[in-house]
Amino acid sequence: MKEIIVPELAESISEGTIAEWLVKEGESVQKGDPICELETDKVNVEVNAEYSGTLAKIVKQEGEDVEVGEVIAEIDENGSSASSSDSVESKEEAPKEESKKEDVKVDGSKESASTSTSSKDKVVASPATRKRARELGIDLAEVQASDPLGRVRTEDVEKHSNGSSKQEATQTKMSSQTAASNESSSDDRIEREKMSRRRQTIAKRLVEAQHNSAMLTTFNEVDMSAVMKLRSERKDKFQEKHGVKLGFMSFFTKAVVAALKDFPYLNAEIEDNEILLKKFYDIGIAVSTDDGLVVPVVRDADKLDFAGIESEIMDLGLKARNKELQLKDLQGGSFTITNGGIFGSLLSTPILNAPQVGILGMHTIQKRPVAMPDDTIEIRPMMYVALSYDHRIVDGKEAVQFLVRIKQLLEDPYDLLLEG
């Protein structure tokens, strides 16, 4: 038999969960064939057969957690699974072992009974103490004597009784809580569902982000009239020329990069007692998938034009939804943009994507009455934007000015075209 082990996954990943077995026990496999899918904290990876033969035994079932180097299956290179004779022999031996165990149990019970009888006889206690013990249903052998000579007194029995009562009360309370828990779990109206490894990781990191940073959120609103007009004028020619649609994300990505250049501490992270100022602009774009939220990264966004950004976002989005993202697609972002507006969110407070110190939240565009500079009222397409930041290295003034800068760039998008 040849063992199949969990291969080395990545530097930061040491364990995963068996998501699905692609081959059943008894089926033939060729060397290099994928035999199971492994879910890790970030991506799903396939484990390939290292030998040709028959999958003789699945050691780890779907849903079980495994570590790198752990055996998950066995392959028979001769093409035969484990012989049935072994199982027959084990079944025949089982009754013999059980009978032996029963004999041992009987002998053991006899010994314990004789031991308890003799221990009762050896206890030194007065008739009054023995009577009180019988009334309370206490075995004198279990009572701890306070007398240096080992004589059990009536107060020792009373003390033991009080301690037992408290213990029984505690056990009763615990058993009632357990019973209530079991009752709720057996309720047909309640369904228990195990969290996927990725969902557990998302939950853990979101909580850590709130506990390990001084997170604060500031808000502003953007008049999207100019962006929507420019997009409407150019979208057909843009798609014809570049093969991708001109969306809002490229405008926001360009605005974020320009603002980060003006406020570099939002493009940084904290390491021990030092601030790491990043001289690159790798922008994470939050993408919702069936398995949870992932944040693939658009590399060197400052060097890409609108078409390049839209192409990257489209490719990463497709990879995310088809579960084809690689670890390199998710690592090393310096700032994140999340768009709750596609789901209809009007306003939210995004949580930092640690160790980053800034995240921009986009929201749905809503027509609202706006007071214009000449005091007239106009109906404008408005979007609330939110910036969550780590107050440890970003002051409120910088955060507000950063968001104002983004507002200015989006309300006059021709400046973004000049940014390149």
SS (H, E, C) the chain: CEEEECCCCECCECEEEEEEECCCCCCEECCCCEEEEEECCCCEEEEECCCCEEEEEECCCCCCEEECCCEEEEEECCCCCCCHHHHHHHHHHHHHHHHHHHHHHHHHHHHHHHHHHHHHHHCCECHHHHHHHHHHCCCHHHCCCCCCCCCECHHHHHHHHHHHHHHHHHHHHHHHHHHHHHHHHCCCCCCCCCCCHHHHHHHHHHHHHHHCCCEEEEEEEEECHHHHHHHHHHHHHHHHHHCCCCCHHHHHHHHHHHHHHHCHHHHEEEECCEEEECCCCCEEECEEECCEEECCEECCHHHCCHHHHHHHHHHHHHHHHCCCCCHHHHCCCCEEEEEHHHHCCCCCCCCCCCCCCEEEEECCCEEEEEECCCCCEEEEEEEEEEEEEECCCCCHHHHHHHHHHHHHHHHCCHHHHHHC
The answer to whether the CB of 296 falls within 8 A of the CB of 330 is yes
Catalytic residue among 329, 395, 412, 415: 395
Catalytic residue among 65, 103, 107, 391: 391
395 carries an active-site annotation = yes
160 carries an active-site annotation = no
Residues annotated as catalytic are 391, 395
